[in-house]
Amino acid sequence: MTDPRNDELEAQLAAEPSATRRPTVPALEERLHRLNPVLDHGFVRLVDYMGDDAAIVQAARVSYGRGTRTASTDRGLIRYLMRHRHTTPFEMCEIKLHVKLPIFVARQWIRHRTANVNEYSARYSILDREFYLPAAEHLAAQSRTNRQGREVALSGDEAARVLELLRRDAVQTYDTYAYLLNDDGTGEPADPERSMLARELARMNLSVNYYTQWYWKIDLHNLLHFLSLRADPHAQYEIRVYADAIAELVERWVPVAFEAFRDYRLGGAFLSRQEVEAVRAAVDVERLVAAVEAAGLSARERRELLARLGIHG
């Protein structure tokens, strides 16, 4: 289940570098078509992208009029958009990725409905004998406090036994798959005395740690939503590492938007009404204002924070 098109593209690009009139981002161009390895056999590969930080600004200025255009006001505008969840300008940027991932990770990933997906068809083609096994430090016991989490890593004989069982089952299911397919690699029966079970049926006993692949295209707004959920410590490690690999590409692609995303979304906090009331009751306004100034927030951000907390400083 390799992607021969990747090699063809690399060769084609080396032979005839193309000139384009579209805006491009040199830091991301470097990563086009390159595999970013994830887990033991997976990867994220950048196939294509459209737009950059300037495209976000350009779209927003259609709403707000041109105004003065400098790098700092562009940055301020992107940060304003992110802070106020004025999201449509971020939808002007798109990215297309080729991802290879275990089926159980794909099941979590596909819940993000706002992307366009084309998955490798195991009805049509034969899956590779490639399955995911956790590295020792990620082979951990069930958390007692979080039903969706894990705790300390297993060790010694127990860890070895668990890995052995996981490997044994995966190998066994693939052996059965291969037996049912009865394919000699050229589409002819390996054993002419037996039928070749339809690929769409033969695959059904494979374990969910087998790898699948897809092309995944999404706009920046929905991608940031995906990252806010899947690059979060609450997300399962096996999807989080994909989110981290994608975040690294996004930071190269739209550094200003990514910085704003990190400041207002990843590192920010949403407070309930009761929490706001508790903070308001406890806070010393002068100290808060001094701390906000020391944090380097603009006068506008300072006003907005105080207004959000219902404090009139």
Ligand X SMILES: Cc1cc2nc3c(=O)[nH]c(=O)nc-3n(C[C@H](O)[C@H](O)[C@H](O)COP(=O)(O)OP(=O)(O)OC[C@H]3O[C@@H](n4cnc5c(N)ncnc54)[C@H](O)[C@@H]3O)c2cc1C
Contacts with ligand X by CB under 6 A lie at 111-114, 148, 222, 225, 229, 234-235
Q: What is the residue type of 144?
A: R
Determine how β-strand 94-102 pairs with β-strand 211-219: antiparallel
Q: Which backbone phi and psi does 35 adopt, to 5 degrees?
A: -80, 130
Long-range CB pairs of 224-227 (<8 Å, 24+ gap) are: 224/90, 224/250, 224/257, 224/261, 224/265, 225/112, 225/114, 226/112, 226/115, 227/261, 227/266
Nearest approach in angstroms of CB 271 to ligand X is: 20
Q: Which backbone phi and psi does 26 adopt, to 5 degrees?
A: -55, -40
Q: Which is nearer to ligand X, 142 or 172 (CB)?
A: 142
Nearest approach in angstroms of CB 146 to ligand X is: 10
Q: Which backbone phi and psi does 205 adopt, to 5 degrees?
A: -95, 0
Q: What is the rounded CA–CA span in Å between residue 260 and residue 277? A: 27
Nearest approach in angstroms of CB 285 to ligand X is: 35
Adjacent-strand bridge partners of 49? 95
Q: Is 194 a catalytic residue?
A: no
**Nearest by Cα to 127 from 91, 71, 197, 178:** 178
Q: Which is nearer to ligand X, 95 or 127 (CB)?
A: 95
Nearest approach in angstroms of CB 234 to ligand X is: 4
The residue number whose beta carbon is nearest to ligand X equals 113
Q: Are 222 and 114 in contact (CB under 8 A)?
A: yes
Catalytic residue (one of 45, 199, 203, 230) = 230
Q: Which is nearer to ligand X, 58 or 236 (CB)?
A: 236
As a three-state string, the secondary structure of 238-290 is: HHHHHHHHHHHHHHHHCHHHHHHHHHHHHCCCCCCHHHHHHHHHHCCHHHHHH
Return the active site residues: 230
